[in-house]
């Protein structure tokens, strides 16, 4: 495929023009029809804000029902669209990449949860993108903002999933990469009883996402944990779908060790 990689479409942000986004929506309509409901959300990079706005216009143009949940971690988007009764979710993110990049991930309904868009769906969108057709886009009207509802829904899901485990007495550090997990920041951990020190947790749209922070740059988290004698630290990437840990000595706990845990 020309555009879809292993994790959606990812490229320089300025390539996500209104016409390019409209072709994506056209492909989605060709795959699933226009009697669908779509939830859109994304990470904190500056381009995400205008890409979400242009997606609203494209969805409006094709007569698709949609809502915008603003800044949300990728796992939250995948969980919430399914629980809220949407047919698809469009996640605007370039994950751990620099802020000048961006991307599109699309989720559809599986038997029990949200899943990545199927091969036929990706192929249909690829065909639409190849046509390079232009569209007369309409201005989006104000749609329901589901950000707060989605954040609370996902927080409750995490707490229920952990099932009343206690972090009482633990002192931990969190690095949110100035990305999507910043909207959850320390609240879940504090509700479980932990004392939390937070760094890089700006949830506003901008240029700071992943810049010398998060799971790809652990130096500041290691410093936070060791200098403050914390029990451990966790660092997320920009869209919150990956995490690395450091122990009380500042040693990195890698993916294999996390899997065993």
* Residue numbers annotated as active site: 95
User: What is the Cα–Cα distance from 123 to 51, expressed in whole angstroms?
Assistant: 22
Pairing of strands 252-253, 243-247: antiparallel
> Rounded to an integer, what distance in angstroms lies between the CA atom of residue 215 and that of residue 235?
5
């Amino acid at each position: 495929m020309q555009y879809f990689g292993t994790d959606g479409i990812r490229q320089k942000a300025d390539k996500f023009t209104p016409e390019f986004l409209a072709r994506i929506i056209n492909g989605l309509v060709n795959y699933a029809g226009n009697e669908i409901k779509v939830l859109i959300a994304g990470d904190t990079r500056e381009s995400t804000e205008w890409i979400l706005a242009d997606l609203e216009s494209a969805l409006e143009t094709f007569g698709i029902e949609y809502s915008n949940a603003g800044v949300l971690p990728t796992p939250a988007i995948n969980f919430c669209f399914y629980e809220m009764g949407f047919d698809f979710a469009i996640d605007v993110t370039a994950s751990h990449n620099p802020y000048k990049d961006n991307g599109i991930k699309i989720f559809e309904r599986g038997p029990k949860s949200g899943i990545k868009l199927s091969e036929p769906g990706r192929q249909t969108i690829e065909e639409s993108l190849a046509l390079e057709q232009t569209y007369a886009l309409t201005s989006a009207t104000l749609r329901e903002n589901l950000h707060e509802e989605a954040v609370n829904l996902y927080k409750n899901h995490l707490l229920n999933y952990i099932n009343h485990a206690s972090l009482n007495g633990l002192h931990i550090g969190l690095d949110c990469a100035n990305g999507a997990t910043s909207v959850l920041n320390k609240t879940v951990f504090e509700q479980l009883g932990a004392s939390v020190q937070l760094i890089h947790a700006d949830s506003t749209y901008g240029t700071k996402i992943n810049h010398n922070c998060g799971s790809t740059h652990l130096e500041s988290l290691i410093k936070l944990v060791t200098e403050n004698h914390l029990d451990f630290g966790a660092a997320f990437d920009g869209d919150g779908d990956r995490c690395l840990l450091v122990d009380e000595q500042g040693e990195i706990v890698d993916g294999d060790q996390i899997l065993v845990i």
